[in-house]
Amino acid sequence: MESNIDAGLNESDLGAVQRAQGWAQDFVAPRAESWETERRFAREAFDSAGQHRLTGLLVSSADGGEDISVLGLARVLEEIAAVDFAIAFSLVCHNNLAGAVGRGATGTLRESVLPGLVEGSLVGAFLLTEPEVGSDAAAIAVTATTDGSEWVLNGEKAWVTNGTDADVLSVYAQTDSSLGHRGIATFLIDANTSGVIKTPGYELLGGHGLGANSIRFENCRVPAQSLFQPVGDGFRAAMEGIDLARVLVGAMCCGMLRTGLRTASNYVRGRLAFGGRLADLQGVRFKLADVATDLEASRLLTYRAALTLQEGRNAGVEAAHAKKFSTRVTENGIASCMQVMGANGAKRDHPLPRHLAAARLTHYVDGATEIQDVVISRSLLD
């Protein structure tokens, strides 16, 4: 099905997909297991991704970026996640921020961060989720108050992808709690600013390459020009990209499931048992056939939503369907692929155990599965 999707890509898209595929195989694949074993953020991967022009994918060519389409971006991330989900998701967060800065930042704020984000020398992070808030982004409690010509931030953000090594923080903060979500503004903050306190990376089931952590603000003072999205626009800005993010998670799931199916298929072709190949046992064949059907359905849902977004239409429900279905079948499908490989499916000399852990994490990022059910049921019943 890749060829059918790729037929709709432009030259810039195709170039990015090819670079991503080659980079993932040559640079990421030999190192991904080590990043997970060492439980650390893969900073060197960002340097390399920048050299391969994969850190400014949503930035205009006038600003040094690639300016690729939604379909192209989904295909890029599918190829990277087919090797390692963690670095793919890190690049999603970074590229989304770089694209937002390229579209919306002006003056010295733009000049100070955009070139570094595009070339990958600066790592970007979104700071929206909070420890006591979770998926209810409108209820954020990190405060931003004015003091003369400065803003003062206090509070804590959680589940910050890239947080352990981030250089540029896009922080969503409440300026006036009486206004609810209309009081939210967004700030671009240098992570080395006094009052910014990073915690160590979370100990997770997997996906340690995400560099996910918490970041606290303790009387963190930033100049007025750090205001990126003005009061009243912050929440809208956060929500604008959520459908795209969900589609991209779907694409990354397709990449992981594709690898699972390929790995298991190759294994059972060569494994002899009970007087023949495992691949000749009907139970094995049918289990892999189910995975193949789920992969096809996942890709159809995901790229239908991507095309809807690319055409400028509302894709909220389609994105919810894509994320909900893709995350579910990917976790189940990778487990099935490991099962037909017997005990060897659990060995870490192939990527399936790492992909299985990552597949579990996909149920939570960019809105938990239950949030997708809220979107879908609302479209049916309200």
CATH number at residue 154: 2.40.110.10
Is the domain of 168 the same as that of 64?
no
Is the domain of 82 the same as that of 106?
yes
Residue ranges making up the domain that contains 82: 2-122
Which of 344, 218, 323 lies closest to 278, judged by CA? 344
Is the domain of 325 the same as that of 278?
yes
Q: Where does a domain end: 122, 150, 174?
A: 122
Structural tokens at position 9 = 């890509």
Beta bridge partners of 124: 168
Structural tokens at position 359 = 């597949």
Structural tokens at position 11 = 């030259």
State the pTM of this model: 0.94
Is the domain of 62 the same as that of 151?
no
Is the domain of 335 the same as that of 277?
yes
HSE (CB half, 13 Å, CA atoms) of 3?
Answer: 0
Is the domain of 136 the same as that of 163?
yes
Q: Where does a domain end: 101, 122, 143?
A: 122
Is the domain of 72 the same as that of 149?
no
Is the domain of 24 the same as that of 132?
no
**What residues contact 105, with CB distance under 8 A and at least 6 apart?**
113, 114, 188, 228
Question: Given this model, what pLDDT does residue 135 score?
Answer: 67
Q: Is 141 exposed, middle or buried (0-12, 13-18, 19+ CB in 10 A)?
A: middle
Instruction: List the CATH number of the domain containing 306.
Output: 1.20.140.10
The rounded distance, in Å, linking the Cα atoms of 31 and 18 is: 20
Number of structural domains, the chain? 3
Average pLDDT per consecutive 10 residues, the chain (382 residues; last block may be shorter): 76 95 97 93 93 96 95 97 97 95 91 95 95 77 94 97 96 92 94 97 93 97 93 82 93 98 96 87 96 98 96 94 98 98 94 97 92 95 89
Is the domain of 159 the same as that of 281?
no
Which of 127, 93, 90 lies closest to 209, judged by CA? 90
Listed in sequence order, the DSSP H helices in the chain are 2-6, 11-23, 32-38, 43-51, 70-81, 85-104, 107-119, 234-240, 242-270, 282-310, 316-340, 352-361, 369-381
The rounded distance, in Å, linking the Cα atoms of 376 and 335 is: 27
Is the domain of 36 the same as that of 93?
yes
- Ramachandran angles phi, psi of 150, nearest 5°: -120, 160
Is the domain of 279 the same as that of 370?
yes
Q: Where does a domain end: 67, 90, 122?
A: 122
CB 229 within 8 A of CB 104: yes
Is the domain of 319 the same as that of 252?
yes
**What residues contact 4, with CB distance under 8 A and at least 6 apart?**
none
Structural tokens at position 151 = 């803003």
CB 42 within 8 A of CB 90: yes
